[in-house]
Amino acid sequence: MNSFYIMIGGSLGAILRYLLGLFMMKKYSNPPFPLAMLVVNILGSAGLGAFYGYYYNAMPPTTAYSDSLFLTIAIGFFGAFTTFSTFSVEAMMLLQRQSYKALSIYIGLSFIGSIGFFLLFFLGAQAISF
């Protein structure tokens, strides 16, 4: 049954990532670095932080792996919505093109933005959870 929860969340997360990526590519057809995946990864980190902060009011315990909501949202949805593998491919493409400035901005914003927004939304959700 756990695999079913992950499958449902993962399906929805992957579809939403795809649609948001298409929207971003249409809106910004030639950005200086991979803007669509940057936005997806930062939004996903913020969402996961909010989920953890609100639902658990802390980082989830190891027992969360038997919780259907954790499996569906944290592992399934946000696991499929965000993507480190695509980030890696796009970073390597910038490196191959010798776009060092764009590569530095992309890596910096990806890491700092993802961790920063996770923390911001995690703490914000903790403050409003009861």
3-state helix, strand, coil in the chain (%, to 5): 85, 0, 15
| d(C-alpha 116, C-alpha 34), whole Å | 19
- The answer on whether 13 is annotated among ligand-binding residues is no
- The answer on whether 113 is annotated among ligand-binding residues is no
| d(C-alpha 72, C-alpha 10), whole Å | 7
| d(C-alpha 35, C-alpha 23), whole Å | 11
Comparing CA positions, the residue from 96, 111, 126, 101 lying closest to residue 37 is: 111
Annotated binding site: 79, 82
Binding region for Na(+): 79, 82
